[in-house]
Chains A and B, each alone.
Chain A
Amino acid sequence: MSIIEVSKLTKYYGKARGIVDVSFGVEAGEIFGFIGPNGAGKSTTIRLLLSLIHPTSGSARMFGQDVAAHGPEIRCDIGYLPSEVYYYEGMKVIDLLRYSASFYGHDSTERMRALAQTMELELNRRISDLSYGNKKKVGIVQGLLHSPKLLFLDEPTAGLDPLMQRKFFNLIREENARGVTVFFSSHILGEVQRLCTRVGIIREGRIVEISNIRALQQNNYKKVQVAADGLNPAAFNLPGVTNLQSENGTVSFFFKGDINAVLHRISALQVTDVSIEEPTLEEIFMHYYE
């Protein structure tokens, strides 16, 4: 079942482009990565889905209901962690969390305590006294408090130290294991790679690729590195080779196609070192951005 169905969603801010003709679907129970550089339209897409802004054209459905017509009902089951967290500065953490919980009509005190403990968040401090990382923790607890069925994470790890990031990822995995669908927006590919099953890549407001992460890594490209004495890069001028670079007797390139063709060339050489590996998402990503 599709939890999110986006069809031809377009948003212009006056004449400035937000997103254009964006269509994709997110299935129940998956962790969907949404990647693109700053300004590509990631936040715009999320804000449209949450009805913080209104589309110029196109539509979106969540839980099978139209976002524009059934916003309040849909948002009952949604948790949102914005990229920049801002809360009422004069309030205490616990009061903010209670205020947040009061919108959902069921008691979440116990869960609040548990989440705060996991994220090492002190409940009695004033929001204005918190560091950026600690505010982020408030955001995480606030977003998970009411046991949502769908989570929107907009660049969630900024400001969290590595230890907290790991705890946070574990938390998200636990939620996912309980059946929570996650929409994970980021420009840091490593974390998307660690967490997500499928990714959508957005660039200049348009979706350029939607793919299974494994498929993206395996079926497309291999990263090949060969070191040999007196190596001539031209030896690897094969169809399917891209990004051919040569440095200090080491040649590296991406290859798409039958790997035997490359192996054949390598076997003719007296190599000192060779590696054939899956490119990181980062490298694939750069390819989409060229």
Chain B
Amino acid sequence: MNASIFKHEVRARLRSVAIWSLAVAALVVVYFSFFAGFADQAELLNEMMARFPPEMRAAFGLDRMDLSTVLGYYSFIFLFVQLCLAIQASGYGFGMVSIEEAELTADFLLTKPVSRAQVLNSKLLAALAGLTLTNLAVWVSSFAALELFRSGREYAMGTLLLLLLSIVIFQLFFLSVGLVVSLLVKRVRSVTPYALGLGFGAYVLSAFSGVLGDVKLELISPFKHLDPAAIVQNAAYDAPLVLLNVAVSLAALAASYWLYLRRDIPAVS
């Protein structure tokens, strides 16, 4: 770890972290504030939901969510929180080393007396620090929203904690996969399309897998590994899938170090 690089990276990402954190916090609070209304009309609502095509209900996990319960409703919101977090973490992963190369500041950094491993350590920790702040924003806004708007209904605290604790695993997946992909391609010109592609791609893979038939493609998507509807339904993680998720993340990280230590930094052309 190099303190200078860490500080520099954290500072460079501060604005982005603030915007994402505010956005997910607002998402949680605003959507959850409608909960009381939904819960009161639960019967009507579930009836209406039943009229939607089954594929669509499956896509949003609605076939397994009871919107009249606190956690049922919360897990529906949590899916959108996950989507935001996926795009944010992918962006940080794709941009971690590629932005310096695209903006040609990599020469400056790598001619300093630091090893490549130190550079990557510092950058990774700085990205994780940013993601953790956003993670914290989800925690705080979730507790606040549930306290304010649950209108006296009970929920299982343990299950809520399972959902919130899944965030860090979820973020690590997109961060490390984004990073390894950015190191596998020759040059990342712009981070945003890659981040949107990975985030939405993984979501679509999980959401519409039922529509595509029995291909099991969803098994590579963290939206499936950490499916909020399933976590609430079972009050537990799907252990093998979570392990698969962590294994993929760790493999991607290991590959990233391997690639980065051997990487030829492209010259100005």
Contact = CB atoms under 8 A, between A and B. Distances in A.
A76 B113 CA distance: 5
Contact of B4 (A13, A83, A103): A103
Contact of A89 (B8, B103, B268): B103
30 contacts: A13-B264, A43-B267, A44-B267, A47-B267, A52-B111, A52-B265, A53-B264, A71-B115, A72-B113, A73-B113, A75-B112, A75-B114, A80-B107, A82-B107, A82-B268, A83-B268, A84-B104, A86-B103, A86-B104, A86-B105, A86-B107, A86-B108, A87-B105, A87-B108, A88-B103, A88-B105, A89-B103, A99-B4, A100-B108, A103-B4
B8 A99 contact: yes
Contacts of A53: 264-265
Residue of B4, B110, B111 with most chain A CB atoms under a 10 A cut-off: B111
B165 to A, nearest CB: 35
Interface range on chain A (Cβ under 8 Å from partner) = 20 to 34
Interface in A29-52: 43-44, 47, 50-52
Contacts of B51: none
A288 interface: no
Main secondary structure on chain A at its contact with chain B?
Answer: loop
B168 interface: no
A104 interface: yes
Interface string A89-105: 11000000001101110
Residue of B4, B12, B262 with most chain A CB atoms under a 10 A cut-off: B4
Contacts, number: 64
A214 interface: no
Given A89-B103, A99-B8, A52 B268 contact: no
A89 B4 CA distance: 18
Contacts of A22: none
Nearest to A142: B108
Contacts of B262: 54
A4 interface: no
A232 B108 CA distance: 59
A199 interface: no
The 4 closest A-B pairs by CB, nearest first: A86-B104, A53-B264, A102-B4, A103-B112
Contacts of A88: 12, 103, 105
Contacts of A216: none
Contacts of A83: 268
A47 B4 contact: no
Contacts of A224: none
A78 interface: yes
Interface in B1-42: 2, 4, 8, 12
Interface range on chain B (Cβ under 8 Å from partner) = 20 to 34
A88 to B, nearest CB: 6
A75 B111 contact: yes
B116 to A, nearest CB: 8
A89 B8 CA distance: 13
Contacts of B106: 52
B4 to A, nearest CB: 4
Nearest to A74: B113
B268 A54 contact: no
Given A83-B268, A88-B12, A50 B115 contact: no
Nearest to B262: A54
A205 B4 CA distance: 37
A86 B102 CA distance: 10
B108 A54 contact: no
Contacts of B113: 72-76, 103-104
B114 A103 contact: yes
Interface string B250-266: 00000000000010110
Contact of A47 (B103, B114, B115, B265): B265
A100 B112 CA distance: 8
A74 B112 CA distance: 10
A71 B262 CA distance: 13
Interface string A58-79: 0000000000000111111010
Contacts of B118: 72
A162 to B, nearest CB: 24
Contacts of A104: 113
A67 to B, nearest CB: 12
A29 B115 CA distance: 27
Contacts of A51: 110
Contacts of B2: 103
A88 B8 CA distance: 10
Contacts of B265: 47, 52-53
Contacts of A102: 4
A99 B8 CA distance: 8
Given A52-B265, A86-B103, A104-B113, 15 more contacts: A44-B267, A47-B267, A50-B111, A52-B106, A52-B107, A52-B111, A52-B267, A71-B115, A72-B113, A72-B115, A84-B104, A86-B105, A86-B107, A87-B105, A87-B108
Nearest to A152: B111
A54 B260 CA distance: 12
Interface string B104-136: 111110111111001000000000000000000
